Structure 1
Amino acid sequence: MVKRFDGERDYSVASASIRSMGETYLPVFCQRAAVLTVRANDVSHLRSGLRAAVLSVSVDDLYDVIIVLALLWNSAELIGVSPEVEFLGIARQAGKFGGVLVDFLKRAPEDRSLDAMQYSVRGAGKTFWYRCDW
């Protein structure tokens, strides 16, 4: 589902459906996508995580979404792709729903770091994961 979004209309339909559910597990999905991005060295997981984060904003706590955006940002850096390009690409695709990604880009670098979110990296390759330090 998260791989097939083609524009703002798709985000609008999905967002309306998700709002009716209340709180979701999308931030957990985003965290898993961040891990899989690194383990598989595959940008498609990153993009799925970003799309899910955009949708998550409509129902989940914004702080939970900001945390996973930091993980996704870090994962992009670790696989050698530009986080700015990826975040802006999904933000453009999501239209008015992509504001959370644009806002995250405006944060000072230290405010979008793993340290700021109290997360750290463990393992490497197929054993890579993010550890919550709080």
Structure 2
Amino acid sequence: MADQVYFYRLSRKFVDEQFDVPEEAKEVIYYSLAIGHHLGIVDCLSADLVCPLAGYRDWVAKLPVGCEARRKMEGFLTFGEITIYREHCHMLACAFDRLRKAEGVLDEQLLSWTNTFMDQLTALYNDPHMYLMVRSR
């Protein structure tokens, strides 16, 4: 596993709008183009947050043991990649907001990552075609 963790946000959509493509099909097309079948670097995602692997481990370890948000975020440590969709927003935002508000739990760096991640979750919630991908490049 690489020593950096990248939080990518879908930033561009490559569907030719000249054709009348149903919304359901567009979502499949966007996702397929974005992940590039897991080959090479994803060029239609932009990295809004980059953190060292050790820092990511420490950050996620601040979440309560056994909570769904921690399980979701630890998926990166197990699989090397996780995808965050709109349906994950509430669960993750609640967990990280509690973490953000807990006195003395987060240092400046972790607070900065939390705030950036919360901004990503807000953007994701407001755009049904967007998703986040956490991966090691």
TM class by smaller structure: 0.3 to 0.5
TM-score normalised by length of structure 1: 0.33
TM-score normalised by length of structure 2: 0.32
Which structure has the highest helix share of the two?
Answer: 1
Q: Name which structure has the greater RCO, CA cutoff 8 Å, separation 6+.
A: 2
Which structure has the highest strand share of the two?
Answer: 2
